[in-house]
Structure 1
């Protein structure tokens, strides 16, 4: 695992020193400037006569065309609001098969509706097919099947675009690596949502995007989409999850904000998502805050805020070796059934350290006979409505060295329920709780403890510090 973490560090350095340098070193000021409609009436005619490195400038107007770009050039509209390319309703509107293409300043609409499969894509407003070092910038892409489709295309930049109301995916990466997807607005798309990586799309940077009101997820990574960085994205009011991962490992989800995603968690790792870092995210008013499910193992949840989610703040379901450190988990759970700040079901080797777990319907719930080796230490657990900690499983939960809201320790309770929200916290079940903390934990002790007990923590810290310095 440590080698994998270090490979992420190498990627972070290389993605900016290689992709940005190579893209920016390509001159968009070619040997000639061709103007449409002054020099040629159609954009495709201008493309056909252009030489490598030429620039085509397109004046305002509506152009009913399907474009094929097979040479390195710059194609720029004067203004994206009134320089509009409308396809024929069959196939893709703009198909790019060359490296080093700049496309900027258009509205693109009117692709066909052929969608092959989630693994193979389909018609799109803009397609990059086996391309490198291309830039798609300052575009409006709407009314297509897929908005922007990268197929086996590496090292491209997709930035500052509005991609909305497409019948399938907003931005779809298929088998595409090392791309930079930044500052896009991907909203009101159907299919798989705003930004979709499936399959085998790795080492991409997805940062500063807004994905809202999509019919599925805000951002979705699926089927061996590994080593990606998702940073500073806003995921709001999507029908399903804000961020969804399936069978994808070693990704970093950092400083994203997930608000009001209706029927799924703000962030979910679903089926065999291993060794991901989920750090510094804000998950508010979702169905759940963060959910780790179905054999998703070895993940780190660090410094997240899970607040006011309808059912649970954090769910660990049939997963092992996950570590929760320094999360704020408050006001989660709107009704008694299955709600808690942290809910652990049939999960093992769980470590919960230095979290603030307060004012939830229940603080922590453990259930399922497969829930073994649950370690809960140095947490502030207080003012939860029903229980601070209830263990419904048969195996003992190790919950020593926690602050229960009172120097006298927890209240051992055998009644069916407690709803007084008074400290000390009530606990129930097979729980080792003595000794306890006689005052709240001090945040300054966190790093020292983690450095000593978990050397891999130092690699996690270095990774997060480098991500914090990235500019885009």
Structure 2
């Protein structure tokens, strides 16, 4: 008997786990065994999706989602070359699923397909969308973004697309497209820069474009020409000259519109051995880039327009010549005990000399060296514009240097004309004594622009030159992102208009002035100097560790915004005979000897919203004939003597400033008249407002708070300490009266926010209408004015109380939250919240108490801080945070906070035995009396 066993393997049912399938055919007495090995069998729980265009071309890079009953079950972030995505182990339920395709990105719907997933979790489908919508992908292999020596360059590229390509072409320098059939050669290229792009269309009309390639064809030095000058002589207008690394000893004149490019700015060197000019540009539209230019009298000199000087290094350029007079006589001169008269004393000094400037001189230095019979001198320079040989106050131009045996004064970019030298005998015991006088004329600079416009100088390093970057008679010139360091002057501009000096570093400028390294004994180097500059923008410069920071001489209508002037020896910013400038958003701090801002003979300037702190003398000092200036909304903190000081300066406005922590006076006014001092917050200085030898000033609406010695003093009759009724006077934190009456004479029933009796200011002056509350300092401003802890040591598990005083300085009623922290952990209050909410009206204050239960707090030292959330539109956030030092959490009975209970704690308890509670007692009394609170 013959038996035939017939079987069927269903599609999708063959599994990889089946190793051998036995099939038996009973044919007579013979048995045939057939082994079937399932090659490439799909695994169980396997799903695949293919995405195709309408013409069955695969879609590469499509996003695919598997959806079941509206829920996303799987995602593929990009189909492969054949348009496939696959998954295993998804565990999909049996039933109908939807595969959604998105192309060319995850947001653009392409097409979808519904498919069945069987009980094993297997399924597959093909999604067909519209015709291809992707453009061809093009990559240019040659030329690359580099410089070539040949005028014939291969053009090679690749094109990738899912559909046939119907057309290819290229565009050179934005010219009409040239048709291509494949790679080719770009021949007859001109010297200079070129832009190249390749395009392609597929049969569906999709156009692709390569990225643009910028390449250059250049003359090479020394490959093509042995010298830079010979390459320029043989170049055409618009050519590029590429100079390879090496040292070149030549004086280059650029008299054609070319781009002169070095291979590397530190190794492509022009060296002048101290002579003439390194690179002299007299053609327009020239680029100078990537050179070191050193040891010339002048590094790079530009006398043309629309040029770019970029990423060069100019160093050790410049020369000097000196003339000396010896054994000059000097007498003991009168030295006023009042510093405000020093310049008057200098004018009357016993020595007068002269010198002339007849040609461009970047720097003049005048030095007086006292002999042994002279202990100390003073020196200053005056520009004798009318040549009457008589020094006048308004002619003072040089920095006054005094109280030393050897003194000096420098001028940066002075105009041509006659100058007067005044030397004063400060301490001359032999009377007369003797000194030598030396005048040093420094010539040269690193990079200079002269009688030119629309030039740009960027990202250069200028070091060890008389002037690093120098503008003279320029218009619309941009000086940006340069590093000017260790020069006598970092950046100087003279007689120039509408220039931009921005984002430069001007630091450590003192080189070549014959002085010792920092800290320097004499004033000499300047970070940025402007002489007769108009309508220019000086912004975001970092000016640090120079003798003087930024100096304006006879310069008007400029904007100085966002500069940082730190750690300069003299002043951070000087305005000398300069008017109508705007000084805004600058940080001027840490001036070592003088002021943050010093002004002389300067009028109608606006000094607004600057941060000025830790300067040795005054934050802002108006010295000598500074009239009609406005000083508003500045923060002047921790200056060593005064916040704002006025001497011989009339009709100025000092308003809405915050002046605090100054070691002497918040505001000091000496021999000045007609000034208005209003709406300032003056706090925590030694004294608030001090007035001497002045009259006709109006001082009102100031908040004078917590000044240590005395709030204010007026030693002169004739100033007004209020603005009449009902406007009122000032708020004095140390003055308290009653407010039961109102009216000009305070005799009408009803309070009016003015104390009923005047507040005396000095001997013969008074504030007739002292305010009961501080004046708001801004529209929206709250602050933390006090923070105290009830203990400094607390037993673990016990309570500590934190008292927080808050004040609304603004004009509106404000709700806000306050949170207390130990280290970085917010303190949870008994109500379960970690903050408390309060609402304050304008000018109101309150004290909030936080209770800190230390249960579970690890023993140790903790810093207590509080933060108040900013109110809407609040900009002054400095006082929204406060700290109260350490609190020690320790074991019960540890009185001295050393984390042990021992005999030392008993001694402290015994010392307090019999005392009565007094919250002002010392630390140990607090510790022993308040442990069970």
Identify the TM-score tier after normalising by the shorter chain: 0.7 to 0.9
Cα deviation for residue 39 of structure 1 reads 4.2
Describe the shift of the 1:29–1:347 C-alpha distance in structure 2 as closer, same or farther (beyond 3 A).
farther
1:19-42 CA-to-partner distances (Å, cap 9, x unmatched) read xxxxxxxxx959964444544454
Q: Is the CA contact 2:245–2:268 (under 8 Å) kept in the aligned structure 1?
A: yes
**How many residues are paired up?**
394
Q: Give the distance between the partners of 1:78 and 1:437, measured in 2 at CA.
A: 71
1:304 is aligned, of 622, 634, 646, to 634
Q: Give the distance between the partners of 1:398 and 1:432, measured in 2 at CA.
A: 6
Q: Give the distance between the partners of 1:208 and 1:327, measured in 2 at CA.
A: 22
Describe the shift of the 1:394–1:407 C-alpha distance in structure 2 as closer, same or farther (beyond 3 A).
closer
Q: Which moved more, 1:250-259 or 1:39-48?
A: 39-48
Q: Secondary structure at the match of 1:158?
A: strand
**Residue in structure 1 matched with residue 306 of structure 2 by the alignment:** 100
**Residue in structure 1 matched with residue 687 of structure 2 by the alignment:** 362
Q: Give the distance between the partners of 2:236 and 2:579, measured in 1 at CA.
A: 43
**Residue in structure 2 matched with residue 18 of structure 1 by the alignment:** none
Q: Is the CA contact 2:712–2:761 (under 8 Å) kept in the aligned structure 1?
A: yes
Q: Taking CA–CA contacts closer than 8 Å with sequence separation of 6 or more, which of the two structures ends up with the larger relative contact order? A: 1
Q: CA RMSD in A?
A: 2.7
**Residue in structure 1 matched with residue 829 of structure 2 by the alignment:** none
Residue 347 (str. 1) matches residue 676 (str. 2): no
TM-score normalised over the length of structure 1:
0.77
Mapping of 1:192-211 within 5 angstroms?
A: 192-198=525-531, 200-211=532-543
Give 1 or 2 for the bigger CA radius of gyration: 2
Q: Is the CA contact 1:403–1:409 (under 8 Å) kept in the aligned structure 2?
A: no
1:90-110 CA-to-partner distances (Å, cap 9, x unmatched) read 320111111111111111113
Cα deviation for residue 122 of structure 1 reads 3.2
Q: Give the distance between the partners of 1:426 and 1:45, measured in 2 at CA.
A: 83
Q: Is the CA contact 1:80–1:138 (under 8 Å) kept in the aligned structure 2?
A: no
Describe the shift of the 1:245–1:84 C-alpha distance in structure 2 as closer, same or farther (beyond 3 A).
farther
Q: Give the distance between the partners of 1:52 and 1:277, measured in 2 at CA.
A: 48
Describe the shift of the 1:63–1:186 C-alpha distance in structure 2 as closer, same or farther (beyond 3 A).
farther
1:2-24 CA-to-partner distances (Å, cap 9, x unmatched) read xxxxxxxxxxxxxxxxxxxxxxx
2:467 is aligned, of 146, 153, 171, to 146
**Residue in structure 1 matched with residue 774 of structure 2 by the alignment:** 440
Q: Which moved more, 1:431-440 or 1:86-95?
A: 86-95
**Residue in structure 2 matched with residue 221 of structure 1 by the alignment:** 552
Q: Is the CA contact 1:95–1:126 (under 8 Å) kept in the aligned structure 2?
A: yes
Mapping of 1:56-455 within 5 angstroms?
A: 56-77=241-262, 79-90=264-275, 91-114=297-320, 115=362, 117=364, 118=411, 119-120=414-415, 122-166=443-487, 168-190=488-510, 191-198=524-531, 200-215=532-547, 217-222=548-553, 224-270=554-600, 272-287=601-616, 288-333=618-663, 339-368=664-693, 371-399=694-722, 400-405=728-733, 408=736, 427-444=761-778
**Structure with more helix by fraction:** 1
Cα deviation for residue 396 of structure 1 reads 3.3
Q: Give the distance between the partners of 1:184 and 1:59, measured in 2 at CA.
A: 28
Unpaired segments ≥5 residues, structure 1? 1-27, 334-338, 411-424, 447-472
Q: Give the distance between the partners of 2:486 and 2:682, measured in 1 at CA.
A: 40
Q: Give the distance between the partners of 1:383 and 1:122, measured in 2 at CA.
A: 54
Q: Give the distance between the partners of 2:491 and 2:579, measured in 1 at CA.
A: 21
Q: Secondary structure at the match of 1:221?
A: strand
Q: Give the distance between the partners of 2:773 and 2:267, measured in 1 at CA.
A: 64
Unpaired segments ≥5 residues, structure 2? 1-191, 195-215, 276-296, 321-361, 365-410, 416-441, 511-523, 723-727, 739-758, 781-933
Q: Give the distance between the partners of 1:38 and 1:279, measured in 2 at CA.
A: 58
